[in-house]
């Protein structure tokens, strides 16, 4: 998440990620922070942390390296896992992040009956993920 909101990934860590993997991490960092910021006022910190942890845990079953993502009260922290994440094949990394986002939206849809997800989709559609 961005440095002001979460001291996790930060610019220095993202720059240390090699080539396209650094760009992929940065894009998904921004997307996940935007989603976090949008749902936090509605659902509260405990619920958002729990939902995010669940989305990551579900993703980790297929992409074990996604266990490097840690949920804090400010968002998803990449700091400790940036080396592991950036060492992944770019396509594999992109697919894993897509699964995290899909899992997150799936949980939110089940929880809110698509109301929150529809709103989120409109608000984040300007963020390019490919």
Q: What is the pLDDT of residues 48-86, one digit of tens each?
A: 999 999 999 999 999 999 999 999 999 998 877 788 888
For tokens 């594999």, name the residue. 92
The answer to whether the CB of 75 falls within 8 A of the CB of 1 is: yes
Which residues of the chain have a pLDDT value below 50?
Answer: 1-18, 129-130
What pLDDT was estimated at residue 10? 42
At residue 62, the pLDDT reads 96
Q: Sort residue 6 into left (φ over 0), alpha (ψ -120 to 50) or beta.
A: beta
Every domain of the chain and the residues it spans:
10-124
SS (H, E, C) 52-89: HHHHHHHHHCCCHHHHHCEEECCEEECHHHHHHHHCCC
The answer, as to whether pTM is greater than 0.85, is no
Task: Output phi, psi for 2, to 5 deg.
Answer: -70, 155
So what's the pLDDT on residue 95? 95
- Please tell me the predicted confidence (pLDDT) of residue 69: 93
Among 37, 17, 7, 1, which residue's Cα sits nearest to residue 85?
Answer: 17
Cβ–Cβ under 8 Å, residues 93 and 101: no
User: What integer best gives the mean pLDDT of the chain?
Assistant: 81
């Amino acid at each position: 998440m961005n440095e002001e909101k979460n001291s996790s990934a930060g610019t220095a860590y993202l720059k240390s990620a090699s080539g396209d993997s650094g760009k992929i991490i940065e894009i998904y960092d921004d997307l996940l922070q935007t989603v976090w910021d949008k749902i936090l006022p509605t659902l509260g910190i405990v619920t958002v942390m729990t939902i995010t942890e669940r989305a990551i845990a579900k993703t980790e079953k297929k992409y074990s390296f996604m266990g490097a993502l840690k949920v804090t009260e400010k968002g998803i922290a990449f700091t400790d896992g940036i080396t592991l994440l950036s060492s992944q094949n770019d396509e594999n990394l992109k697919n894993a992040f897509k699964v995290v986002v899909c899992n997150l939206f799936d949980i939110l849809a089940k929880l809110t009956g698509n109301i929150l997800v529809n709103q989120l989709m409109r608000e984040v559609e300007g963020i390019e993920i490919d």
